[in-house]
Amino acid sequence: MAHREEEHAEGHDERWLVSYADFITLLMVLFVILYSMGQIDVEKYRQLADSLRSAFTLGGATQVVDSQINQSGGSQEDGAPKPIVIPGIPEGPTESEEVAGQLTSMLAGSQFGSQVSVQTNIEGVLISLSERLIFPQGQTDLPPEALPVLDTIANMLRPIENQVRLVGHTNNLPSANPLYPSNWELSLARATSVARYLMNAGIAPERFIISGQGEYAPVFPNDTPQHQALNARVEIIIIYHLQNNVIGVGLSPAAP
């Protein structure tokens, strides 16, 4: 009986070794994980540090870690700065920006002011014509004062083959035209009316993509009559695909 009690006491005293062994094992695993997380590509970070140091040092030759980036830099034959080409970023201003600048210059001398907005977006050139210029409130018939602007746009569209997206928009006022009971229908009818005029001006109908957004894509809050007038608009988007050669892994130049 006494012998069993001694064995029981001895086993009870050594039970802590099991917990201690588990603790040591877990601690070792923790240090292995921390060690692996702390390993870095020292050579790559050294190259990056050298590149940054050269970039901010006059006269230093820049070395870029990513070999896909054109590092030539320097100047072109005419002395103009030669840009560094990075994958996904065009080398210079796109054709759409040039067209936007030309159209802005052509409209600069007109009396339309903020009623015509010209800018570039991800698709190309975006021309926004406000309701005050192209439509009486709730109507879809083009007034005479809108025709010179549309003629100017048609003159620019005629010699090119780009697709043209026409998007009609309204403000948050309900449609008062019984022919178009919703703003969806009113905005689509306005875009179609502009497209029809441009088609009659010689633009091929297959180039157009027509849609209506109703009141659901405002550029301003509909909190003032001025903002409501600007939200009610038709957008003409001349679509320009990326034509610059883009270098990158798994990428090919975009089709024109």
- Residue 164, SS3 per DSSP: strand
**What is the residue whose two structure tokens read 């809108």?**
146
Q: Which of 160, 183, 37, 182 is nearest to 98 (CA)?
A: 160
Strands 124-130 and 233-239: antiparallel
**What is the residue whose two structure tokens read 């030669």?**
82
Q: Is the dihedral of CA 185, 186, 187, 190 positive or negative?
A: positive
Pair 183, 214: CB distance under 8 Å? yes
Pair 214, 232: CB distance under 8 Å? no
Cα 20 to Cα 12: distance, rounded to the nearest angstrom: 14
Alpha carbon dihedral 47, 52, 55, 61, in 10-degree steps, equals -20
| 28, amino acid identity | M
pTM for the model: 0.57
- The residue extents of the domains of the chain are 2-37, 95-239
Cα 135 to Cα 152: distance, rounded to the nearest angstrom: 18
CATH (one of 3.40.50.720, 3.30.1330.60, 3.30.870.10, 3.40.605.10) for 95-239: 3.30.1330.60
Q: Residue 200: enclosing H or E segment and its boundaries?
A: helix 183-200
pLDDT by residue for the chain (256 residues), tens only, comes to: 555 555 555 555 677 777 778 888 888 877 777 776 665 556 655 665 665 555 545 444 444 444 444 444 444 555 554 444 434 444 444 555 666 666 666 565 555 556 778 888 888 888 888 888 888 888 999 999 889 889 988 988 898 899 999 999 999 999 989 999 999 999 999 999 999 999 999 999 999 999 999 999 999 999 999 899 889 999 999 998 654 433 333 434 444 4
